[in-house]
Structure 1
Amino acid sequence: MRFKTAKGEIAVNVPDRASLETIVRQKFQQKQGFSLATLNLDHLVKMAKSTAYYKVYQAQDYVVADGNPIVWMSRLAAKPVDLIPGSEMVLPLARWASEEGRTVALFGSSQNALEAAADDLRRHVPSLQIVCLIAPSFGFDVNSETAIKYLTQIESSGASLCFVALGAPKQETFAIHGRTHAPSVGFASIGAGLDFLAGTQVRAPVWVQKIACEWLWRLLESPARMWRRYLSCFAILPHHFVQSLAQRWRA
């Protein structure tokens, strides 16, 4: 499934969780790094405004659908993909790493949140080895020498998987730098996934998620922070729905 932006096209190239598991396990077995991004409408908005971010997304090895509108448009285009939110992939990814005998690093958020998230991960996956926790300071620049030092530290820790919780566009940019400076590590950009595990952020109840209203939950919780984001997301929906129909007609 492809989405057209003002800068070019972005493809969701991993259609479902089973495909993602196969790919990730193979990478662990081959001791090869990768970068995994989770596409949503906010990312499409940011890409339309930023050539740099578009190029970062183009450089990702794997992209999954994180957001119901992405899934709905894929079905409209007759190229269906499953919903795979980044926050819901933390535990499965950690479990696959543990089962393949690989270790994990946590990067982003705050030190207290990372420690709490690490404890929660160990409760769910007792055999998991977490070898590196790094909470960068406020205002951390992902294009700086400090970022390279962090990546070198992650590589030296022996971690095969690093959860990156910086938010877009920082996390995807950091992951791409990781492909150069920590080539044996898989980088998964998971947004607030670690904060959800730590309990420092509360996700919408399951029933809200099931009726595809998690966006409304977040808007009501943080209206001052979220209203502009969702307004921008709604503004691009007509264009992408038309593009999805065009893909269906061409097919």
Structure 2
Amino acid sequence: MMESQAHESRDMTVDGIAINILSMPEAVSSIVSAAQTGDSFSVCTLNLDHVAQLQQRPDFRAAYRRARFVTADGFPIVALGRLAGAKIERTTGADLVEPLCEQAGSKNIPVYLLGSNRLTLHRTARRLASRFKGLQIVGYDAPGGNFDPYSDEADRAIDGIRKSGARLCFVALGAPRQEIFAARCLDRLPGVGLLCIGAALDFIAHTQNRAPLITQKIGLEWAWRMLRDPRRLGPRYARCMSIVPRLVASSIPQIVNARTRKVA
């Protein structure tokens, strides 16, 4: 009975997507364990923009449903989880790269980088390899700007990852392309874990600037980004904010159940 209650307290779904990784340490240990076992898996990091797109793209939702690990990326998602009784922490793709590379170096897990551009990839590979002893970056590739996850170019990218011998691949193609591509790879790349990480490689190469740490900690990274690029990001964040009331309403049963269990 105690085990069942403990399991229930971990359950958290947002708009039908289950978040099953609740913290950074849990994410790192789970991903490294799966890579060492030789599993094929994908990792997605759920945020409000993804939730909005999931309503419009059945292939995006299908990709999320195939992901082995899903974390909460964004403070609205974290807040919903905590209201529903989950001890959840924000865990972004950008924050996962370096601790995973540290573990990959010590545990002999080869890594591949996919996305962005060749300058960014070259800088990122060099910096990660110098920072983490033993890290093997066995290849990288920068697809074209109009990359289609279902295209011949995507097939060539899959072949490149396979031939490299990588067991972890960081996919930095932006949503929803990176998640859809990662889902395609699950059936074609045995023994490879694919992590969808957005702009993480650009942050490491310093070809893009990430928000200051203080804004990340207080949940205002989105505001910092929007102020720097209001024309592009303003409509996106307005769309994201518009879905919050619906998400809160749909989470009420989870919140009530969590409160009821706590009282009991």
Structure-1-length-normalised TM-score: 0.95
Deviations 1:170-207 (A, max 9, x none): 00011111111112111000000000001111011111
**Paired residue type of 1:145:** D
Corresponding residue for 1:106? 113
Secondary structure of the structure 1 residue equivalent to 2:227: helix
Residue 25 of structure 1, CA deviation = 2.3
Moved more, 207-216 or 19-28: 19-28
Secondary structure of the structure 2 residue equivalent to 1:35: strand
Moved more, 77-86 or 222-231: 77-86
Residues 1:119 and 2:126 aligned together: yes
Indicate the RMSD between aligned Cα atoms, in angstroms: 1.2
Corresponding residue for 2:76? 69
Following the alignment from structure 1 to structure 2, what is the Cα–Cα distance between the partners of residues 136 and 206? 30
Alignment of 1:1-251 (within 5 A): 1-4=12-15, 9-251=16-258
Residue 242 of structure 1, CA deviation = 2.0
Secondary structure of the structure 1 residue equivalent to 2:174: coil
Conserved? CA contact 1:37–1:63, under 8 Å: yes
Residue 137 of structure 1, CA deviation = 1.4
Following the alignment from structure 1 to structure 2, what is the Cα–Cα distance between the partners of residues 195 and 25? 23
Secondary structure of the structure 2 residue equivalent to 1:89: helix
Q: Any gaps of 5 or more consecutive residues in structure 2?
A: 1-11, 259-264
Secondary structure of the structure 2 residue equivalent to 1:180: coil
Residue 30 of structure 1, CA deviation = 1.3
Following the alignment from structure 2 to structure 1, what is the Cα–Cα distance between the partners of residues 127 and 77? 30
Secondary structure of the structure 2 residue equivalent to 1:142: coil
**Paired residue type of 2:124:** A
Conserved? CA contact 1:148–1:181, under 8 Å: no
Residue 155 of structure 1, CA deviation = 1.2
Secondary structure of the structure 1 residue equivalent to 2:21: coil
Following the alignment from structure 1 to structure 2, what is the Cα–Cα distance between the partners of residues 160 and 95? 14
Residue 118 of structure 1, CA deviation = 0.9
Following the alignment from structure 2 to structure 1, what is the Cα–Cα distance between the partners of residues 22 and 213? 23
Following the alignment from structure 1 to structure 2, what is the Cα–Cα distance between the partners of residues 21 and 197? 18
Secondary structure of the structure 2 residue equivalent to 1:49: coil
Following the alignment from structure 1 to structure 2, what is the Cα–Cα distance between the partners of residues 126 and 29? 18
Residue 20 of structure 1, CA deviation = 1.8
Deviations 1:83-126 (A, max 9, x none): 10110110011112112111110000000000111112123213
Conserved? CA contact 1:104–1:162, under 8 Å: yes
Following the alignment from structure 1 to structure 2, what is the Cα–Cα distance between the partners of residues 68 and 58? 22
Conserved? CA contact 2:19–2:72, under 8 Å: yes
Residue 157 of structure 1, CA deviation = 0.6
Following the alignment from structure 2 to structure 1, what is the Cα–Cα distance between the partners of residues 248 and 131? 39
Identity, % of aligned positions: 39
Larger Rg: 2
Aligned residues: 247
Q: Any gaps of 5 or more consecutive residues in structure 1?
A: none
**Paired residue type of 1:54:** R
